[in-house]
Structure 1
Amino acid sequence: MQRSARDAAKRVWARASSLVRTWRDAVFPDGDAVSRIACVDMLAHNWHLGFTAFGGPTVHYQIFRRLFVERYKWIDETTYLEVFALSQALSGPASTKMLFAFNIMHYDYLTGFLAFLVWALPMACVSFGLALGVRNIGSQLPAPMYALLSGLNSATVGIIALAAIQLSSKAVTDKLTRILVFFGGAAGMLYNALWYFPVLMAAGALTTVLWDLKVLQRLIKALRPIKIRDEQDVGDVELSNLEQAASPEPPASSVTARHTAKVTPQATQTLNTNPSNTLPSAESPTTATNPRTSWVRGTAVIATFLLSFIIVMALRGIYSDRNRGFDLFANLYLAGTIIFGGGPVVVPLLRSYIVSPGWVSPRDFLLGLAITQAFPGPNFNFAVYLGALAVRDTSIPPIAGAIIGFLAIYIPGLWLCAGFIGVWSSLRKVVWVRAALRGVHATAVGLVFTAVYRLFEIGYLDKDVQGGGTLSRDPWWVVIIAAACYGGMHFHLAPLVAIVMGAAMGLLRYAVVSS
């Protein structure tokens, strides 16, 4: 009786497991095509990412690797790493550009753009709904709400600090990149201007190019006085003669000399053909990209973007402060063009472009920042929230402001990514390009530490500090930062859980202090 019951239970469990596997395979397919229509196949493979990819860019990179490299097998590991480096080197949202690039390489440009919409639109709509709610909030919030927001911001600082640590562990490959990470973080803290971050990135790229190509070493060697080199050569000859005179061994016989003459070229040839002395990343081919991503089309795409940027900046200088909608588009278009380092870096830059002109209050900026950090998908959807709020005192409807924010912040990065995907197969073989990417990547990671500092300085809110104050006002906020960072690092605490924990700890502090 008991045996038959166990057998029946096993059959039920096996049947349920089979149904779950069937449902999972239908909802989350493998890399094989499920439809001949590219858009349908893309939707089947990408639909869930905009709802499930919590944790920001650092977690997105890991999700994409498991999905596109290991499960779908659309690309190999080498191609993944190259697209990762390229996404870090170009401006705009890094994880969004990676998803966009993978779909372009597997399908085409149009399907890649549709994949971007599937990825970004779900939480963009939620961000717009959040903005509509914030527009109806009064100038003063209840005291517990300020404590909750300060807790949220503290947890956000901890999450971004963890992202900076994790990214730096991958970016640091030698002492030079370690120095560049420090340089990017320190220089970013000391000064802030519209042109400053791109200059830092260019300085990092120039440094690695000069170092990897041994330009400085060759220059120093060429500038050495000839006299010193001659004296050194004479000294070496005299020392060699003394060593030969003091050597007790007899000279080699003619047979030994002939034998040595035969062996030495072989050894030299073996040394020169050692694979460890080559650069396989520049010579060996990777997974072939879509043939429609040609270098001609890529060059044309990059050129048209540069032309559009010049036009927008020229119109921005001519028609500034005449129309809020155009000013919003121009500022965010500029931000999307010069933001390197992804979501964490966008925060202080957007504060300068949106809050400083007086379009959005510092309180509403920090409120939206704290909440949108808990959303899945790209962090750049924060611009949708800001766009809807920036047109509050104008005749422009909120939905129009949200659309302007969405398009302006995403277009530059995606446009450049689409162009460089076409020319990358040629550029990847150029040594100085790979060297420049190494420097850009390291400096961009340093800028994430800058974002940690700047958010720390504006994360505290109360009724008397509406514009944001430093979180060092009370050790409790530092404890929340440490808990979020340490929990994520050693206990795999999910970012969403860390955000909720920060809010709860903020309310706990208010309850203790008020009592």
Structure 2
Amino acid sequence: MGTKSPSDLLRRARAVALRAWKVLRVNWHLGATAFGGPPAHFKIFNDKFVKKTQWIDEQIYQELFSIVQSLSGPASTKMLYCINLIRDGFLAALFSFLIWSLPGAIGMYGLSIGVASIDETLPRPVYALLSGLNAATVGVIALAAVELSEKAITDRITRIAVFISATAGMLYNALWYFPVLMVISGITTLVFDYRLLHKPVTAIAYQVARVKRLGSRNPAVKRRSSEEDAAAIVGGRGVQLQERQPSPSSNPQAQSLQQQPKLPLAEQQGKSASALASAAESEPRIIPRDMQLNFSWKTGTFIITCFFLSFIAAMVLRSVLPHPAPLLYRLFSNMYLAGTIIFGGGPVVIPLLREYVVAEGWVSPRDFLVGLALIQAFPGPNFNFAVFLGSLTAINNGYSSIGGALIAWIAIFSPGLILVHGTMGIWSAARNRRWVKALLRGINAGAVGLIYTAVYRIWQVGYIDEGFQAGRSLGDDPWWVVVVVTSFVGGRWFGFPAPLSIILGAVMGLLRYAVVNA
């Protein structure tokens, strides 16, 4: 009775094949053509899935952008995964991830084999080529930052959040710092939208005015001045006081009227803020049926709980294994840890991975910097850099290169994808609440600000040559500034796609070498 007929199985297989074909038809080229790292990827996804295919609308896109930026792991990979998850379910999301990640992963694996066999110093034309790629990448990311800012900035408070997040991210760098900036941005917009500070500020203004009035030697004049100051502090919304007579004792009714509105003023402001929040709360977001996710918050919570249990188990196992633990397991645990605790996507994880492989002595600083320059110019997710590092780690320690690459690839991507999959279940239940929208609006603005931080970070180390393989600022040579500006202007006003800008940057780098060494 429980067995299915051949026709049912055939129908199901046909439906799965049709779904896989749809995913392949829409996603097939992204892993090979999406250059520029996560900031550029987000723009590409917006153009493709919001404007062209209309798989999701702009509001869902902005919500997803906030979610993936607020979680650890590869940001653009999580975005693509979530879009396909909403559209066609888990298998489609997993298939889209493979289409997206494998081309770049295979390319980085091949490059790791080549880098492992080269001399300590690269030919100078290669350094010029890599510097040109880095400079063009900076222009592409800067363009993506500007265009995403235009969508994220909806009012003055989000404009401030973008600015503060960008500047604060440039001033300091730590594992915990970027997520804290995004959370602060979210809390700021939440407080602003609900006017949570308005009532306390109003009450303080009233108390200040009252103290000034009581301490005045001329109550008739000072009382009026204090009340007007309090009204000005709260935005001029106080009840206008009636005109006083020169002597308060001659008109006691006027004196009484002047004192009455002050205490109810704070209450009225608080009530108006609450009424505004309640009114917005009662207007739920209408989500098209084909954009709804049939995924319960209980399932999402279960997935997240299982992930953290696996993370704890992996870290405990690492500590109890005989020291030193097997190298390939240490590689797995380091990459699993990186994928779990590093926020901000590729621009953040790439420099910080240095602590997990170079400090361990598995990969040389030179090879790390070569891979860093190459991954900036590679299509697909920047987290594929882990494939490069895993392969070199295995080669340098006598293990199979494919084994090291595969272990690093699985370990670095798994945490972010598992977490965002579970979070989608919770999000589907909470997305219509106004406080969630307010929070995500600020997180979105803070995340966009951090893209400017990524521009600054790559700018500071983008210029590499034989004498400074650790990288110098692109501003040290005007030519690289020209490459950055060309990439930005070409994309902004002439419609250059990101791959063309990257290739043009490489050509300009080689041109500089030819002119300087002619």
User: TM-score normalised to the size of structure 2?
Assistant: 0.77
Q: Deviations over 1:148-202 (max 9, x none)?
A: 2222222222222222222222222222222222222222222222222222222
> Map of 1:74-473 to 2, 5 A cutoff?
74-226=55-207, 228=209, 239-240=241-242, 279=280, 283-288=284-289, 292-315=294-317, 322-473=325-476
Q: Give the direction of change, closer, same or farther, for the CA distance of 1:394–1:107 in structure 2 (3 Å limit).
A: same
**How far, CA to CA, are the matches of 2:431 and 2:364 in structure 1?**
44
Counterpart Cα distance in 1 of 2:140 and 2:416: 24
From 497, 507, 512, the equivalent of 1:509 is 512
Alpha-carbon distance between aligned partners in 2 of 1:207 and 1:316, rounded to the nearest angstrom: 39
Q: 1:108 to 1:121 in 2, by over 3 A?
A: same
What's the RMSD between the two structures over aligned residues?
A: 3.4
* Amino acid corresponding to residue 475 of structure 2 in structure 1: S
Bigger CA drift: 409-418 or 427-436?
427-436
CA contact (8 A) 1:459 1:470 kept: yes
- For 2:406 and 2:58, the matched residues in 1 are separated by 36
Evaluate the alpha carbon distance shift between residue 427 and residue 375 of structure 1 in structure 2; reply closer, same or farther with a 3 A threshold.
same
Instruction: Name the CA shift for 1:234/1:216 in 2 (closer, same or farther; >3 Å).
Output: closer
CA distance in 2, matches of 1:191, 1:166: 25
Q: Which amino acid aligns with 2:15?
A: R
Letter of the structure 1 residue corresponding to residue 467 of structure 2 = D
The 2-side partners of 1:218 and 1:309 are apart by 44
Once residues 500 and 379 of structure 1 are traced to their aligned partners in structure 2, the CA distance between those partners, rounded to angstroms, is 18
- In the alignment, structure 2 segments of 5+ residues that lack a partner are 1-11, 214-222, 229-237, 246-275
Distance 1:511 1:500, change over 3 A: same
1:467 aligned counterpart, secondary structure = strand
Q: Distance between the aligned counterparts of 2:372 and 2:113, measured in 1?
A: 15
Q: Cα gap change, 1:69/1:219 in structure 2, threshold over 3 Å: closer, same or farther?
A: same
**Worse-matched range after superposition: 464-473 or 408-417:** 464-473
Measured in 1, the distance between the counterparts of 2:155 and 2:403 equals 48
Cα distance 1:384–1:341, how it changes in 2: closer, same or farther (>3 A)?
A: same
SS of equivalent residue, structure 1 residue 395:
coil
Return the offset for 1:327: 3.3
Q: 1:493 and 1:440 mapped to 2: Cα distance?
A: 30
Q: Secondary structure at the match of 1:283?
A: coil
- Larger displacement relative to structure 2 (36-45 or 88-97): 36-45
Residue 36 in structure 1 maps to residue 15 in structure 2 = yes
Q: Which amino acid aligns with 1:300?
A: F
Q: Which residue of 1 aligns with 2:219?
A: none
Distance in 1 between the 2:465 and 2:376 partners? Answer: 20
1:459 and 1:468 in contact (8 A); partners too:
yes
Asked whether the 8 Å contact 2:300–2:423 carries over to 1, the reply is: yes
Distance 1:225 1:134 in 2: 70
2: distance between equivalents of 1:197 and 1:441?
13
CA distance in 1, matches of 2:367, 2:337: 22
Q: Distance in 1 between matches of 2:90 and 2:240?
A: 69
Letter in 1 for 2:368: F
Distance 1:111 1:428 in 2: 23
SS across alignment from 1:466: strand
Q: Deviations over 1:52-75 (max 9, x none)?
A: 444544454454445444555544
Partner of 1:253: none
Q: How far is the alpha carbon of 1:292 from its aligned partner?
A: 4.2
**Residue deviations 1:329-370 (CA, integer Å, cap 9, x gap):** 333333323444433333333344444444333433333333
The answer to whether the 8 A contact 2:281-2:433 is kept is no
Counterpart of 2:253?
A: none
Residue 21 of structure 1 is matched in structure 2 by none
State the 1:281 CA deviation: 10
Moved more, 173-182 or 50-59: 50-59
CA gap 1:109/1:53 in 2 versus in 1, 3 angstroms: same
CA shift, 1:43, in A, is: 3.6
Superposed CA deviations along residues 357-404 of structure 1, whole A, max 9, x for unmatched, are 443334333333333334333232222222222333213322122112
SS where residue 437 of structure 1 aligns? helix
Aligned to 1:479: 482
* Inter-CA distance 350–159: structure 2 relative to 1 (3 Å threshold): farther
TM-score, length-normalised on structure 1?
A: 0.78
Go from structure 1 to structure 2 and tell me whether the alpha carbon gap of 1:83 and 1:127 turns closer, same or farther (over 3 Å shift): same
**Once the 2 structures are TM-superposed, how far is the Cα of residue 224 of structure 1 from its aligned partner?**
4.1
Give the distance between the partners of 1:476 and 1:161, measured in 2 at CA.
17
Q: Residue 510 of structure 1 aligns to which amino acid in structure 2?
A: Y
Once the two structures are aligned, what percentage of the paired residues are identical?
Answer: 50
CA 1:461–1:279 in structure 2 vs 1: closer, same or farther (change >3 Å)? same
Residues 104-155 of structure 1 deviation map (CA, whole Å, 9 limit, x = unaligned): 2233323322221122212211221111111111101122222222222222
Inter-CA distance 240–314: structure 2 relative to 1 (3 Å threshold): farther
SS, match of residue 133 in structure 1: helix
In the alignment of these two chains, the number of paired residues is 455
Q: CA deviation at 1:227?
A: 7.3
Distance 1:438 1:76 in 2: 16
